[in-house]
Amino acid sequence: MDKISYEYTFGMDETAIDETLQDHEVGVLALADDSSAYAVPVAYHYDGSSLYIRLTSDGSSTKMAFLEATADACLCLYNIERADTYWSIIVRGPVRKLTDDEQAAFDETAVNESFRQLPVFDQDVEDLDVEIYELEMETVTGRERGA
């Protein structure tokens, strides 16, 4: 083990985590169904207390099937500026679809203001349903290294 190099990372305080969550807009959502895992990049919006995820479905989405089977999801955010300067945040908890009343707060204008532009891959935009989910932030951890 004397040939492996190590470096220490440090925990991010709550203020740094909140600021980082508010300053960024994309993470990797990890879902699971028994022994199978599925991870997908997603757009998110953090308003200082709740973390919302924008998902789309055309009725045959793998991510939606895994989402329904997942009891506890994980959102991973990270950034590597240089080899010695980086951070990561892990948010864990259940994901729940917003109620119709909650969903109404995310009309087209609010979705466009809260989330980055929606990428579409070989799909007819008219066939896509945009749904907003909340990742209930049961545990949040952040680590960083460098300035």
Q: If pLDDT is split at 50, 70 and 90, which confidence band does 1 have? A: low
- The DSSP H or E segment spanning 53 is strand 51-57
Contact 118, 45 (CB under 8 A): no
SS3 125: helix
Q: Which tens digits make up the pLDDT trace of 118-131? A: 655 655 556 567 78
Q: Which tens digits make up the pLDDT trace of 28-85? A: 999 999 889 999 999 999 999 999 998 877 667 888 899 999 999 999 999 998 878 8
Q: Mean pLDDT over all residues of the chain?
A: 87
Check residue 58 and give its pLDDT: 67
Counting Cβ atoms within 10 Å, is residue 145 exposed (0-12), middle (13-18) or buried (19+)? Answer: middle
Q: Could you give the domains of the chain?
A: 10-145 (2.30.110.10)
Q: If pLDDT is split at 50, 70 and 90, which confidence band does 106 have? A: confident
